[in-house]
Amino acid sequence: MYALTKFIHNVIKCKAAVAWEPNKPLVIEEIEVAPPQANEVRIKIVATSVCHTDLYHLLESMHPDGFPTVLGHEAAGIVESVGPGVTEYQPGDKVIPLFIAQCRECRFCKDQRTNQCEQAWRATDRPGVMAPPETRLTCKGKTLLQFVGTSTFSEYTVVNAMAVAKIDPAAPLDKVFLIGCGVSTGYGAAVNTAKVEPGSTCAVFGMGGVGLAAVMGCKNAGAKRIIAVDINPDKFEKAKVFGATDFVNPKDHDKPISQVLAEMTSGGVDFSLECTGKVEVMRSALESCIPGWGVSVVVGWTDLHDISTRPGQLIAGRKWTGSAFGGFKGRDAVPGLVKAYLDKKVKLDEFITHKLTLEQVNDAIEMMKSGKCIRTVLNVSPE
């Protein structure tokens, strides 16, 4: 057991999955986690999961300056200790670390139109690296980057206090960890960014965890028709659980998917959400929207390729926008999302298809690569 003390100065040695270099299996190592400094929180990670953004950094971006690193950003845990100046959190608090911080002081945090934060930009504005310059993690005498400021593939991590959300002590951490990324990202893209309307028709591209959460968001917003688009037919039964009414596999058609959807919906859908991170799908999602008022939201992450469309698609009245973390201001919104789960207004359990340990993280990565899972919970530590 760990000690619940307010200010401590010891280095913790613990297990973590280290990505020493790109496109290689993660290695379970003993690492050192330094104590939290001013305005920092050290967290014991209880549950985490592999998200597509982890795979993107490891297998697609492969930026040489982004390694060695400890991946992981979708997680939940318990505050182990806090640094000087931290008053909002106490040892023993249940928390969800946030990959988009909320300082509550900058012009973005004070503006309800966005969940971006200037303080967060300054901490992670290094293209391709996807980590702040400072880190509290080391291994074998080498510095380990903290992926998007969180690094949850570790038994312990240190996070800036403005990137932590305190949640209900009754919340089961092996379920609500999903709110740390995938569910919030997809659900919020529908209800906050697209602002899906009652009675509308929606199309969601990609039935991974984010896409399924977007389907759930469309349903909860009152959409009457929700079309799930994916090339893996095994995903369609799961999509139905979250509210999908129609299912389209682009491989079943010899015409562009945008044309297929236009024919199904008398000209196009009111809202489309792209949740694959593929630029060609982003264009298809836009072109699937009806002229005049169609809204298409880019949700899937990539920074490797440009997106393009013909100006007429936008001149005709379609709107093309993006969404990060579902537009939620993390410290303010995450506790409410946890409460929504406890009140059975938001599904979480249904996303979890496999349960493994941190030592099996490479198995979880392979399952996500092959589309054999929605979310695999990695049980890191007991509550």
List active site positions.
51-53, 73-74, 103, 106, 109, 117, 122, 181, 375
Residue matched to tokens 């990060």: 324
- Cβ-Cβ contacts under 8 Å for 59 (sequence gap 6 or more): 22, 23, 369
d(CA 379, CA 155): 10
Distance of CA 196 to the CA centre of its chain: 20
34: DSSP letter:
P
**210 in Cβ contact with 278 (< 8 Å):** no
Distance of CA 371 to the CA centre of its chain: 17
**Which helix (H) or strand (E) element contains residue 312?**
helix 311-315
CA angle 137, 13, 11 (to 5 degrees): 70
**50 in Cβ contact with 376 (< 8 Å):** yes
d(CA 335, CA 168): 7
**161 in Cβ contact with 41 (< 8 Å):** yes
Q: Is 93 helix (H, G, I), strand (E, B) or coil?
A: coil
Helix axes 279-287, 257-264, angle to 10 degrees: 30
- Cβ-Cβ contacts under 8 Å for 286 (sequence gap 6 or more): 272, 296, 309, 313, 318, 320
Residue matched to tokens 């697209």: 194
φ/ψ region of 267 (left if φ > 0, alpha if ψ in -120 to 50, else beta) reads: left
CA distances from 135 to 20, 52, 107 (A): 15, 23, 26
d(CA 223, CA 229): 16
d(CA 357, CA 57): 22
